[in-house]
Amino acid sequence: MPDTPTVIDRVAPARRPERRVVMHQSWRQLLFLHWEFPAPALQARLPAGLELDTFEGRAFVGLVPFTMLGVRPAGLPAFRPLSDFHETNVRTYVHFEGRDPGVWFFSLDAANSLAVLTARAWFHLPYHRARMRLDRDPATGTTRYQGRRLWPGPLPARYALEAAPRGHAATAAVGTLEHFLAERYLLYAAHRDRLYREQVHHRPYPLQPADSLAIDENLLAAAGLTRPEHPPLAHYAVGVDVEVFPLEAIR
């Protein structure tokens, strides 16, 4: 397996592209949980054309629950019953031919049937319909994330997480592990032997370290991944506003 290039531009994807915006979203109350995984096992799960992206030779899988607000096509107002919903993804990190570092999703669960059907059909992403709940204690910042997948399988797939942010929020510096894990502006998808890429734009995350107080999940197992026994790296971000740009075929 080729290793990640020693020099890869991790700043360029964060620049706003000169293209039309197709969608607006706000991502709020994000929890980033990351475990280190054997790189060869993850590379074997990727489609042809994508290479695993590593940090100093280390590969990671992330579990990221959050809530979506104001999801709407560009030029249209938000409609709360359809525009606001919770989401959770299981992901790893990739690059394409030594450039364009981004995200590869093993699964995405969302509490919105229309969003799931649209994303599966138009964006070729492995979305699943789930029932979800997010509760935050405003006094302590402790946030509880819960979800149970409804369709399609594999089932069962559920999670119950609790975490508390600590310290001050700050932008991750380029070259740090925090920047490698969180600052991802490209996502990849595959469909009928073709690769696709989509870009988003937002300000850098206001990241905080977090304490993972409870982890009970089998989303990783449902994705065919054996979660390590050691506790994850945990970070929290209050949120960002996001512009989404058109999906493009790259191969």
pLDDT digit string, tens, across residues 238-250: 999 999 999 999 9
CA distances from 64 to 33, 41, 78, 173 (A): 6, 21, 24, 20
Contact 129, 115 (CB under 8 A): no
At 93 the pLDDT is: 98
Q: What are the DSSP E strand ranges found in the chain?
A: 23-37, 50-52, 59-73, 85-96, 99-110, 127-136, 143-151, 158-165, 186-191, 194-201, 207-217, 233-244, 248-249
Cα separations in angstroms, 90 against 81, 87, 94, 115: 25, 11, 14, 17
Q: Which conformational region is residue 141 in: left (phi greater than 0), alpha (psi within -120 to 50 degrees), or beta?
A: left
The predicted model scores a pTM of 0.95
* Contacts of the segment 21-24: beta carbons below 8 A, 24+ positions apart: 21/74, 21/243, 21/244, 21/245, 22/73, 22/74, 22/244, 22/245, 22/246, 23/71, 23/72, 23/73, 23/74, 23/243, 23/244, 24/70, 24/71, 24/72, 24/74, 24/241, 24/242, 24/243, 24/244
Fold of domain 21-249: Acetoacetate decarboxylase-like (2.40.400)
Beta strand 248-249 with 50-52 is: unpaired
pLDDT at 7: 84
Give residue 184's pLDDT: 98
Given a contact cutoff of 8 angstroms between Cβ atoms, the answer to whether 106 and 91 are in contact is yes
How do residues 181-236 score in pLDDT, each as one tens digit?
Answer: 999 999 999 999 899 999 999 999 999 999 999 999 999 999 999 999 999 999 99
Kindly list the distances between the CA atom of residue 233 and the CA atoms of 63, 169, 181, 199, 209, in Å, as whole numbers in the listed order.
Answer: 10, 16, 10, 25, 9
Mean pLDDT for each 10-residue chunk of the chain (251 residues)?
A: 67 96 97 98 96 97 98 92 95 97 98 95 95 95 97 97 96 98 98 95 98 97 96 98 96 71
Q: How much is the pLDDT for 5?
A: 47
Q: For residue 208, what are its two tokens?
A: 């905080």
What does the pLDDT read at residue 6?
57
How confident is the model at residue 80, as a pLDDT? 86
- State the pLDDT at residue 81: 85
